[in-house]
Structure 1
């Protein structure tokens, strides 16, 4: 007999396939193809495994991986908001909250509650795991844009101050990685692929 829990879990698994269709503004490394949310989340999860030793504090890496794999699932309903969008704030919105409740709500109650709690923790960005997860989320597009001669910075006219202000959150998760990221940002200015106003 097939359990109700299994049916709910399969329904969730089918629903989250839609993450593969959510296009991001950033492009793959050395490419003109836009990344999708599934690729982004996978890449961040691997980055967390590889870079965990550079976290400011000892972290529960599995929890960070869970955060990174689920953090953009809400975009199935809410859509992707470009981090440098000037019309819409890139923060936890009512749309995302409704999406989290609907999508994670497909799961059995205990699993739904766990994933919503992990998603909320990531969004709040206050725990050591959330801080490190956010540092991964901010690092990857930086690496992409520097590999693409400015990428979305050039395409959307994003200047140094905006990049610096969005990326400095990396320091809260990893001072070591922030040192690397800050150097990349400054090198991008020197190369002329990121403009100072």
Structure 2
């Protein structure tokens, strides 16, 4: 029973992810999305877009989905930080590490180690699955910004150079998705959704 209680306690704790409001607005612009919605949506992206992973990748799709479902659990404690917020990102790794210890530590030891390792794999970005998962994690907010006419970008004064730099890691997981993303960025500048860069 202790094992089950710990597992249920972890599951109940995950409900808090629904309260973490992100910078990205829903595609219809009605409200900002929460972190649980984001995790669900990028996991579905993996199922639909797996064929666009870089051709040299031997992809374990189930692992990609696990990484995406677990990667933002730490935001329950650490919150969501805008990717373009340099100052806000300085302490982010330590805050997220502490959050991972507490939240994954709620589980029985074997599951705590397994899920914590998956979170760390995503953070390190060294495996095929982590690189593809990260590409989807970066593409989704970009899509939301484009579909809401740059709502969050404009609010924070983000430039095309910043978007290109922050999202270049998409290419490591999918050259095809990076080509698509670059097209969206160019179009966003043309439509005045995004401030042009210095170039």
Q: TM-score, normalised by structure 2?
A: 0.95
Match of 1:41 among 39, 42, 52: 39
Q: How far apart, in 1, do the equivalents of 2:95 and 2:49 lie? A: 32
Which 5+ residue runs of structure 2 have no aligned equivalent? none
- Which residues in structure 2 correspond to 1:9-28 (within 5 Å)? 9-28=7-26
Distance 1:153 1:135, change over 3 A: same
Aligned residue in 2 for 1:167 = 167
Aligned residue in 2 for 1:53 = 51
Task: Tell whether the 8 Å contact from 1:81 to 1:90 is kept in structure 2 after alignment.
Answer: no
Q: How far apart, in 2, do the equivalents of 1:92 and 1:174 lie? A: 26
Aligned residue in 2 for 1:63 = 63
**Aligned structure 1 segments of 4 or more residues deviating by more than 2 angstroms:** none
Aligned residue in 2 for 1:195 = 195
Q: TM-score, normalised by structure 1?
A: 0.96
- Which residues in structure 2 correspond to 1:112-127 (within 5 Å)? 112-127=112-127
Task: Tell whether the 8 Å contact from 1:64 to 1:133 is kept in structure 2 after alignment.
Answer: yes
Q: Give the secondary structure class of the aligned counterpart of 2:23.
A: strand
Post-superposition Cα deviations, 1:24-79, rounded to whole Å, max 9, x if no partner, equal 01100021300000000000000001001111112111111111111111111111
CA drift at 1:90: 6.8
- Which residues in structure 2 correspond to 1:107-146 (within 5 Å)? 107-146=107-146
Q: Give the secondary structure class of the aligned counterpart of 2:86.
A: coil
Which 5+ residue runs of structure 1 have no aligned equivalent? none
- Of 186-195 and 12-21, more deviation after overlay is shown by 186-195
Task: Tell whether the 8 Å contact from 2:78 to 2:92 is kept in structure 1 after alignment.
Answer: no
Distance 1:171 1:184, change over 3 A: same
Q: Give the secondary structure class of the aligned counterpart of 1:89.
A: helix
Matching of residue 7 in structure 1 with residue 5 in structure 2: yes
Post-superposition Cα deviations, 1:96-118, rounded to whole Å, max 9, x if no partner, equal 11110110111111110011100
CA drift at 1:92: 5.5
Distance 1:48 1:83, change over 3 A: same
CA drift at 1:86: 2.9
Post-superposition Cα deviations, 1:156-177, rounded to whole Å, max 9, x if no partner, equal 1000100000111100000011
Aligned residue in 2 for 1:80 = 80
